[in-house]
Amino acid sequence: MQEHVNDHYVQEAKRLGYRARAAFKLIEIDARDRLLRPGQIVVDLGSAPGSWSQVAAARLRGNGAVIALDVLEMAGIAGVEFIQGDFSEDAPLASLEAALRGRPVDLVLSDMAPNISGVASVDQARGMQLAELALEFAARRLKPGGAMLVKLFQGEGFDAFRRQMLDAFATVSVRKPKASRDRSNEVYLLGVRKKA
């Protein structure tokens, strides 16, 4: 708890009005890879408490749309349409499709993580399952040339998932932003230029 309270990114998030330190992960990756631009349709999977949606909405500057989805509640954010539900179930997915109104998606963001059970093999499998669901959605809804940023935990299934992403995107890169805690095995895979 003490480490969290004293964390530089936690303090900066509070100072700048971000809902979580995770905002700085997306800010850093976006500064490097220029993912977010006005006019885009952005889908934020696993959005609560909303820091990635905050960053995305700010970068779109009122031009475009951010549609966020999470199983947890999320307080409203200007410029963000929020759907509460489990991404693995049909009804929330149907609501997400309805919110898109047939518009092709430019960018899929997925910071989804499973509820941690403490059993490493179980948690890894659940995390991979969430990433695979996000990739399935991106493969179906991203427009050609679109991009996807997805959180993964290094371990069993990681290399196979990376190969799946390479089937869908021209290039796939690993990103480990400074705001990720050193001891965490989380990384982000960035797929750009979705293949037609």
So which residues are the catalytic ones?
151
Cα-based distances in Å from 94 to 87, 88, 89, 134, 157: 10, 11, 9, 14, 28
Peptide linkage before 49 cis (omega within 30 of 0)? yes
Calpha distance 110→135 (Å, rounded): 9
The phi, psi pair for 68, rounded to 5°, reads -115, 150
Query: CA geometry: angle at 79 spanning 66 and 186, to 5°?
Result: 45
DSSP-derived 3-state class of residue 34: coil
The rounded distance, in Å, linking the Cα atoms of 105 and 170 is: 17
Closest CA to 17 of 72, 74, 71, 58: 58
**DSSP string of 103-139?**
PPEEEEEE---PPP-S-HHHHHHHHHHHHHHHHHHHH
Amino acid at 70: D
